[in-house]
Amino acid sequence: MESGHRNRIEEAREAHTRETGNQLCLERKNKTVANQREQNMDERIPPRMECIGVCVEELCPVCGDKVSGYHYGLLTCESCKGFFKRTVQNNKKYICAEKQQCTIDISQRKRCPSCRFHKCLHVGMRLEAVRADRMRGGRNKFGPMYKRDRALKQHRKALIQAGGFRIDSGPPLGSSIHHRHLRPLPILHSNPLPTARPPPLCSLLPSDPLAATQYQCTFFSSWTIKSEHTNNSGAPGSAARTHSEELHARPFSQQGPRMPQLVMEFVRCDPDELQLQNKITARLLQEQSGWEKHGNPSTFSLMCVMADQTLFSIVEWARTSIFFKELKVNDQMTLLHSCWSEMLLLDIISRQVLYGKVGSLLLVTGQEMELSYIASHASLTLASLVQRGQELVEKLHILKVDRQEFACIKFLILFNPDVKQLEDHQFIKSMHEQVEGALLEYTLCTSSHLLGRFAHLLLCLSELRSLSTLVEDYLYCKHLSGEVPCNNLLIEMLHAKRSWA
Are the CB atoms for 485 and 301 separated by under 8 Å?
Answer: yes
Among 64, 69, 186, 417, the residue binding DNA under the rule CB under 7 A is: 69
Number of C-beta neighbours around residue 442 at 10 A: 28
Residue closer to DNA (CB basis): 51 or 358: 51
Q: Which lies closer to DNA via its Cβ, residue 77 or residue 307?
A: 77
Using CB under 7 A, which residues numbered 145 to 174 contact DNA? 146
Q: Does 8 bind DNA (CB under 7 A)?
A: yes
Does 135 participate in binding DNA (rule CB under 7 A)?
A: yes
For DNA, give the closer residue by CB, 44 or 449: 44
Task: Give, as ranges, the residues between 298 and 317 that touch DNA (CB under 7 A).
Answer: none
Give Cα separations from 388 to 5, 112, 151, 464, 471 (angstroms). 65, 36, 44, 9, 11
Give CA–CA dist 401/396, Å, rounded. 6
Binding residue (CB under 7 A) for DNA from 18, 31, 93, 110: 110
Q: What's the one-letter identity of residue 469?
A: T
What residues numbered 355-414 form the site for DNA, per CB under 7 A? Answer: none
The torsion defined by the Cα of 232, 234, 237 and 238, in degrees rounded to 10, comes to 10
**How many whole angstroms separate alpha carbon 232 and alpha carbon 462?**
42
Per CB under 7 A, 6 contacts DNA:
yes
- Using alpha carbons, select from 488, 191, 182, 207 the residue that is nearest to residue 344: 488
For residue 497, say whether it is annotated as part of any ligand binding site. no
Helix-helix angle 329-355:403-414, to 10 degrees: 150
Q: Which is nearer to DNA, 130 or 496 (CB)?
A: 130
| Angle, CA of 42, 48 and 52, to the nearest 5° | 150
Q: Is 85 annotated as a binding residue?
A: no
314 close to 347: Cβ distance less than 8 angstroms: yes
Does residue 70 bind DNA (CB under 7 A)? yes
Q: Which of 82, 200, 256, 452 binds DNA (CB under 7 A)?
A: 82
Q: Is 37 in the site for DNA (CB under 7 A)?
A: yes
- Find the shortest distance in angstroms from Cβ 81 to DNA: 7
For DNA, the closer of residues 130 and 217 by Cβ is 130
Number of shown-chain residues binding DNA (CB under 7 A):
51
Min separation Cβ 403 and DNA, Å:
23
Stretch that binds DNA, among 1-9, 193-201, 341-349, 435-443 (CB under 7 A): 1-9
Among residues 51 and 477, whose Cβ is nearest to DNA?
Answer: 51
Is residue 28 a contact point for DNA (CB under 7 A)?
no
* Given 54, 58, 59, 73, the residue binding DNA (CB under 7 A): 73
Residue 17 and residue 91: Cα distance in Å, rounded? 40
Is residue 329 within 8 A of residue 210, CB to CB? The reply is: no
Q: What are phi and psi of 234, to 5 degrees?
A: 70, 50
Task: Pick the closest to residue 217 from 273, 268, 259 (CA basis).
Answer: 268
95 contacts DNA (rule: CB under 7 A): no
- How far apart are CB 96 and DNA at their closest, in Å? 13
Q: DSSP state, 356?
A: -
Phi-psi region of 173 (alpha: psi -120 to 50; beta: other; left: phi over 0): beta
Closest to DNA by CB, 110 vs 400, is 110
Specify which residues 75 forms β-bridges with. Answer: 70
Distance CA 275, CA 67 (A): 16
Helix (H, G, I), strand (E, B) or coil at 331: helix
| Helix extents (H) in 208-260 | 218-224, 243-248
- Residue of 47, 163, 199, 359 interacting with DNA (CB under 7 A): 47
Of 28, 99, 136, 294, the one binding DNA by CB under 7 A? 136
Output the known binding site for a phospholipid derivative. 474, 478
Interface contacts to DNA, rule CB under 7 A: 1, 3-8, 10-11, 14, 33, 36-37, 40, 44, 47-48, 51, 65, 69-73, 77-80, 82-83, 85-86, 89, 109-110, 113, 116, 129-131, 134-140, 142-144, 146
